[in-house]
Amino acid sequence: MNESRGVLPAPVEDLLDVALVAELTVISETGRPVTYPLIPLYDGQHIFMTSAVLFSRKLRHIKANPKVAVALTDPVGVPAEPFARATIQGDATVIEDDLHAGWETLLPLWRAKEPVIDSFVKKRFGIPLFFERSIIQIRPRRVLYWEGGATATAPQVFELAELG
Amino acid sequence: MSKLELTDAVARADGYSHAVVSFVGADGYPVSVAGEFSTDPGRASLDIGPLATEVLPAAGAEVCITFSHIRPQSGIGYDERRYVNLWGPAEPDGDHLRVTAVRATGWDEADIPFFEYAERSVPAAHEYMEEVGDQRPHLSKWWTFFLATRLPFLTATIVPVALGGAVAARDGAFAWGWWLLALVAACAVHLGLNIANDIFDDASGADSANVTPTPFSGGSRVIQYGLVSRRGMVRACVAFYAVAVAIGLFLAAERGWWLLAIGAVGVVLSLVYTAPPFRLVHRGLGEPVTALGFGPVMTLGAYYVCAQQWSWEAVYISLPVALLIALVLYVNQIPDRAGDEAVGKRTLIVRWPESRVITAYELMAGSAFVLIALGPPLGITPWWTLLGLLTAPMALKVVRGLRASYGQPYALMPVMQTNIGLHLFTGLLLVVGYLIDVLVG
């Protein structure tokens, strides 16, 4: 296993570094799991996602219950070599002190993964409410990891406190 | 995301590569695991597996089954975005999980384009921003001005005013200073009109009812997006009209009181276009009002400011430009059709079936080119104005585009762009024709 550069196991970090889509599962006020496809960003400590105020239901769910999971499952959306699957459970915080510009602090991470984001931001005047965004900051707590993406077998489980 | 019929949702799932099962684990955190699946749309049920028994939910636990597809396009973003969420009670069976759906939602951008999906969510966005606290969406002052005034549409004013100046130049009467003042006044009326149009379309509900706006249609949206308040728009509107009226009075006093009549007609046309009780655009009269205001009124006004006399030539050469600017309005109303109809804004596009709309376009565009072609042999306009015929292929391109994409607002965007270019380039070629005639004598 390569050396981890942050709080997550190295193979999971490798997945996150290339993932263009992850499935964020939150828990609704009624206790129902609800899953949303979003782009994940990772700075070595936290997983970040952003949500436009246009699509804010997930933010309300997180504020009511911060327990979430981020799954990396799709070989197309997660073009890692070798492919694997992982689910990262953690505690989410919604950061929205500045909906207009606060999320732009994530642009370096976003740009590294998806350079086209800069051209979208330049055209924010075309769809201004899409660029009023909350940050979802997730502190990882546990990881389920399936080598080769083989979910018929039991996952390796990493309790992150044990990772040090 | 929209609610889906259960059997439809399960049938849609068949097109995806894998399922993601999510449920709430014993410690209260969600657990998500991907797996292969098969469907039984008739029973609205799914079978997912094989899955490790360690990550299977308990019997009866509510699970969310997600099917997600996206195609990353390098340097562009994504396309083919779609997903389906199904919920139901877990029925574990060995290393398989069966779920009979009791609820389903989803989105497919092939059914609802992303921009429409976003537009439908605008009320929810405002509700959320109010919850969050004292935050309002905003853009830079420049972009707010650009959007609120719909600045690029000033080409509709620049072309006829330039044409009036060009006719005056042929008569040896062009006067830069007066012409520039006329241009500023005409632009001010136009910007005031654009803002007034937004104010009245907001008041009537037409813009809110329109969930498929494009950069060329559906208004500026600055009120709908909360970028500018209604009061702010009214102030800006009054300011632009005040500038126009002040310059107009000055020009009338200096260059001739007939200008007062021409300017008054322009201002009145711009107001009765959408202002109640007239609301001529609601009565299917938007095109003739636009043609008159952005054709003869502006061209003749610009000519009179320079030459201090009437000119039938200026009126004649403004007619093709008038027809083409009316066609800009006409085509740009096609994506607004559903929203306009919902609030009783009965434009020609709302009143007529697609075939008649396209036939009328062909007739009006054809008439514009016939007028250009007849001007020189009739001795009205210089031969060089035949340059204006060079844009005829653009009109054909618009017709082809209308036939191909009539019911698809976003696919119509290049068609609307070409149609705006048709007016702009035809008008500029007419101006160039006049200038060449002046230069070569």
Q: Tell me, what DSSP letter sits at residue B56? A: P
- Shortest distance between the Cα of A22 and any Cα of chain B, in A, equals 10
- Shortest distance between the Cα of B67 and any Cα of chain A, in A, equals 9
Q: Is the pLDDT assigned to residue B221 strictly greater than 90?
A: yes
CA distances from B274 to B3, B141, B265, B406 (A): 37, 26, 15, 25
Q: Is the pLDDT assigned to residue B73 strictly greater than 80?
A: no
Query: Which residue of A99, A130, A155 is in closest CB contact with B129?
Result: A99
Burial of residue B389, with CB atoms counted within 10 A of its CB: 0-12 exposed, 13-18 middle, 19 or more buried: middle
CA nearest to B22 within chain A: A33
State the residue for tokens 């410690």.
B27
Helices (H), B46-154: 114-120, 122-132, 141-149
Confidence of residue B365 (pLDDT cuts 50, 70, 90): very high
Chain A positions touching B18 (Cβ under 8 A) are 73-74
Q: Is the pLDDT assigned to residue A163 strictly greater than 50?
A: no
Chain B positions touching A120 (Cβ under 8 A) are 77
Report chain B's mean pLDDT, rounded to a whole number.
Answer: 95
- Shortest distance between the Cα of A49 and any Cα of chain B, in A, equals 17
A31 and chain B in contact, CB less than 8 A: yes
- Spatial distance between the Cα atoms of B329 and B414, rounded to a whole number of angstroms: 15
Q: Residues of chain B with pLDDT > 90: what percent?
A: 93
Chain A positions touching B147 (Cβ under 8 A) are 125
Query: Which residue of A33, A73, A90 is in closest CB contact with B18?
Result: A73
Q: Is the pLDDT assigned to residue B230 strictly greater than 70?
A: yes
pLDDT in tens, A35-74: 999 999 999 999 999 999 999 999 999 999 999 999 999 9
- Spatial distance between the Cα atoms of B298 and A47, rounded to a whole number of angstroms: 59
For B137, the token pair is 């969406």
Question: Would you state the pLDDT for residue B115?
Answer: 92
Q: Is the pLDDT assigned to residue B134 strictly greater than 90?
A: no
Chain A positions touching B227 (Cβ under 8 A) are 128
Question: Would you state the pLDDT for residue A1?
Answer: 54
Query: Which residue of A27, A59, A75 is in closest CB contact with B30?
Result: A27
Confidence of residue B152 (pLDDT cuts 50, 70, 90): very high
Q: Looking at the domain covering A10-163, what would its CATH class be?
A: mainly beta
Which among B379, B375, B318 is positioned nearest to B163, based on CA atoms? B318
Judged by CB atoms closer than 8 Å, whether chains meet at B87 and A32 is answered as: yes
Judged by CB atoms closer than 8 Å, whether chains meet at A96 and B132 is answered as: yes
Which among B439, B435, B438 is positioned nearest to B163, based on CA atoms? B435
Number of other CB atoms surrounding residue B362 within 10 Å: 14
**Beta-bridge partners for A35:** A25
Query: Which residue of A25, A71, A79 is in closest CB contact with B34?
Result: A71
Question: Would you state the pLDDT for residue A4?
Answer: 83
Q: Is the pLDDT assigned to residue A162 strictly greater than 70?
A: no
Question: Would you state the pLDDT for residue A2?
Answer: 66
Question: Would you state the pLDDT for residue B78?
Answer: 79
A38 and chain B in contact, CB less than 8 A: no
A45 and chain B in contact, CB less than 8 A: no
- Shortest distance between the Cα of B71 and any Cα of chain A, in A, equals 7
Question: Would you state the pLDDT for residue B314?
Answer: 98
Q: What is the dihedral sign for C-alpha B334, B335, B337, B340?
A: negative
Q: Is the pLDDT assigned to residue B101 strictly greater than 50?
A: yes
Judged by CB atoms closer than 8 Å, whether chains meet at B72 and A76 is answered as: yes
Question: Would you state the pLDDT for residue B148?
Answer: 97
Query: Which residues have C-beta within 8 Å of that of residue B118, sequence separation ≥ 6?
Result: A52, A54, A127, A129, A130
Domain ranges of chain B: 2-111, 141-440
Judged by CB atoms closer than 8 Å, whether chains meet at B70 and A77 is answered as: yes
Q: What is the mean pLDDT of residues B347-356?
A: 97
Q: What is the mean pLDDT of residues B44-57?
A: 96
Q: How far apart are the two ends of chain A, measured CA to CA in Å? A: 16
| A65 neighbors A107 (Cβ within 8 angstroms) | no
Question: Would you state the pLDDT for residue B70?
Answer: 84
Confidence of residue B290 (pLDDT cuts 50, 70, 90): very high
pLDDT: which is higher, B246 or B133: B246
CA nearest to B68 within chain A: A37
CA nearest to A26 within chain B: B30
Q: Looking at the domain covering B2-111, what would its CATH class be?
A: mainly beta
Domain ranges of chain A: 10-163
Query: Which residues have C-beta within 8 Å of that of residue A35, sequence separation ≥ 6?
Result: A23, A24, A25, A71, B20, B22, B32, B64, B66, B85
A54 and chain B in contact, CB less than 8 A: yes
A16 and chain B in contact, CB less than 8 A: no
pLDDT in tens, A71-106: 999 999 999 999 999 999 999 999 999 999 999 999
Element (DSSP H or E) covering residue A67: strand A67-72
Q: Residues of chain B with pLDDT > 70: what percent?
A: 99
A153 and chain B in contact, CB less than 8 A: yes
Number of other CB atoms surrounding residue B127 within 10 Å: 11
Confidence of residue A164 (pLDDT cuts 50, 70, 90): very low
